[in-house]
A = this chain, B = another copy of it.
Amino acid sequence: MSSRIALDAFGTDDRPTPEIGAAIQAAIAGLTIDLVGDRGVLEPALAEALAARDDRDRAEEAVGANLAIVHASEEIGMAESPARAVRNKPDASLCVAAARVKSGQACAAVSAGNSGATVAAGLFRLGRIRGVDRPVIVTGFPRVRGTGARTLLLDSGATVECRPINLVQFAALGAEVARVEHGVDRPRVAVLSNGVETGKGTALTRESARLLDAHPSERFEFVGSVEPGELFGDVCDVAVTDGWTGNVVLKVAEGAMAAWQTLLREALRGREASAALGRSLAPALAAVRDRVDPDAHGGAPLIGVDGTLIICHGASTSRAIFNALLMARDSARRGLTTALAESVAAHTELFEAARRASTKSTGK
């Protein structure tokens, strides 16, 4: 398999500047990158970015050896209908990047564009792993207790409305990510709910929990329900929910943490010695941000599709994209997609039971 990574150069809000910066950095680090997008824009922009660098000679040499521009004539905007855009624009940078994974010319693709379109590109260009019903986005939450590992949340936004079969599959897939990517031997998996008492949650969470409880897995331990606030604790390694709820959780968590920091800054402003205090505080705040900040952890893998595809924020910096490229390389090297396919095959009985239950109950 190729070790090249296809990077959609027209994803971020400031495209293609952060993408070019990340691609240069990756080339210097020895990754081989296909920078996918309009050659007429990318060639001069790349030359300009290289010329502005302190390490120009080294960067030019690395780019010469490790970076290729792959032309794609179109791009997909944030406001476009994701499925329609992916269908109608085969030559969009995102679609070309995904196609290179499909053809084996690249081992992974990274995009910071319209995340709905990236999910559609995964579905239509890469296809699903056999036996997987819906793709799913994985994000990680920092923990304040226990090990340094992160609690994985699936789905963080790929499949907005879900049935029990989807959550049950997210459980098996998420556990495999925890095992392969984070070295967790027997991951603890929970269903996100708003309480552990009988009757809490929704028809979807209750039925999914019942199925996971009734069909124990050899590859993970089902530990029941987890409350939203416990995502920051050490209660489970993987929490599963529908893509609507997961996306809301992700965005509230980011908003709340940013709000807390702003409130603290405001509270300090009115106090004596606040300048000195602020200076002493800065490194601690930076350390917290580093644990919390999604940029430090690259992107969010879209899994369940037949190939490695990493989704980044539209507001991603060069550093975030660079980290996503490292993540893409590592996932491909570790054979995550193959491991996921094995896990799907190992859970046939669970999935069949969940499919029967999902036909009966279509409630969320």
Contacts and interface: CB of A to CB of B under 8 A. Distances in A.
Nearest to A197: B79
A81 B232 contact: no
A271 interface: yes
B291 A281 contact: no
Nearest to A271: B284
The 4 A-B residue pairs whose C-beta atoms are closest, nearest first, are: A229-B255, A232-B259, A256-B256, A228-B251
A68 interface: no
Interface stretch (A21-29, A241-249, A298-306, A319-327): A241-249
A7 interface: no
20 contacts: A116-B200, A142-B263, A144-B259, A144-B262, A144-B266, A161-B203, A161-B363, A161-B364, A192-B248, A194-B244, A194-B247, A229-B252, A232-B255, A245-B248, A252-B252, A256-B257, A256-B260, A267-B284, A267-B285, A273-B280
A254 interface: yes
Instruction: Categorize the interface residue count of chain A.
Output: 35 or more
A288 interface: yes
Given A229-B251, A245-B248, A364-B364, A280 B277 contact: yes
A255 B283 CA distance: 23
Nearest to A290: B267
Contacts of A245: 244-245, 248
Given A81-B198, A263-B292, A281-B281, A248 B249 contact: yes
B251 A81 contact: no
Interface string A166-204: 000000000000000000000000001010011111110
Contacts of A258: 144, 229, 232
Given A229-B251, A229-B252, A247-B194, A287 B267 contact: yes
A261 interface: yes
Interface of A: 78-79, 81-82, 116, 142, 144, 157, 160-161, 192, 194, 197-203, 227-232, 244-245, 247-249, 251-264, 266-268, 271, 273, 277, 280-281, 283-285, 287-288, 291-292, 363-364
A136 to B, nearest CB: 15
Contacts of A142: 259, 263
Contacts of A161: 202-203, 363-364
Contact of A202 (B78, B160, B192): B160
Nearest to A287: B267
Contacts of A254: 229
Contacts of A198: 79, 81
Contacts of A251: 194, 227-229
B288 A277 contact: no
A155 B364 CA distance: 17
A288 to B, nearest CB: 5
A199 B144 contact: no
Contacts of A288: 260, 263-264, 267
A78 B197 contact: yes
A307 B316 CA distance: 49
B82 A199 contact: yes
A85 to B, nearest CB: 11
Nearest to A202: B244
A257 B257 contact: yes
A228 B250 CA distance: 9
A217 B184 CA distance: 54
A252 to B, nearest CB: 4
